Amino acid sequence: MTWLAIVALAGGTYAFRVCGPVLHRRIELSERVRWMLSVAATVLLCALVATSALTTGHGFAGWARPAGVLAGGLLAVRRAPFIVVVVAAVATTAALRLLGVR
């Protein structure tokens, strides 16, 4: 990661944030555009979940990490508190590795 990359990411992110507060009396996004933006974010986040849970570099990440995410995911679906979900995922993965599951 370079300075330039961080500045670009930070600057672009701030630009997204500040548009609404600065422009809101002048333009309004159509609901369709808002909806597409939010679904795009969901799609990207899910792709990140899938790739970072299942892969390392260009290969399979091993069983321990996806198993941990699955355990946490089941708790999340059952509406366990956020922190319990995260701790359960981490603990499951760590425990499996301790037992020799890669």
Partner 1 sequence: MRSFWRTLDRLLRHGTGPARLLPRGTELDRALLRDIGLVVLADGVVGVSFGAIAVSGGQPAWVPLAMSPAVFAGGAQFAALYIVLGGGGVSAAVIAGLVLNARLLPFGFAVADVLDLRWPARLLGSHLVLDESTAFALAQRDPARRRAAFFTCGSLLFVVWNLGTLLGVLAGRAAGNPETLGLDAASPMVLLALVLPALRDRRARRAALLGAAIAVAGTPFLPGGLPVLLSLVGLAAAGRRSAGRRSAGRRSAGRRSAGRPGSGGPGSGGRIRSRAEGRA
Question: Which of positions 43-102 make contact with partner 1 (CB under 8 A)?
Answer: 43-59, 61, 64-65, 68-69, 72-73, 76-77, 79, 81-83, 85-86, 89-95, 97
Q: 6, 63, 99, 101: which one contacts partner 1 (CB under 8 A)?
A: 6
Which backbone phi and psi does 78 adopt, to 5 degrees?
-85, 10
Pick out residues in 19-38 that bind partner 1 (CB under 8 A).
19-24, 28-29, 31-38
Q: What angle do CA 73, 76, 78 make, to 5 degrees?
A: 115
User: Min. distance of Cβ 40 from partner 1 in angstroms?
Assistant: 6
Q: What angle do CA 85, 99, 68 make, to 5 degrees?
A: 20
Q: How many other CB atoms are found less than 10 A from the CB of residue 87? A: 14
User: Min. distance of Cβ 99 from partner 1 in angstroms?
Assistant: 12
DSSP 3-state assignment of 56? strand
User: Min. distance of Cβ 74 from partner 1 in angstroms?
Assistant: 11
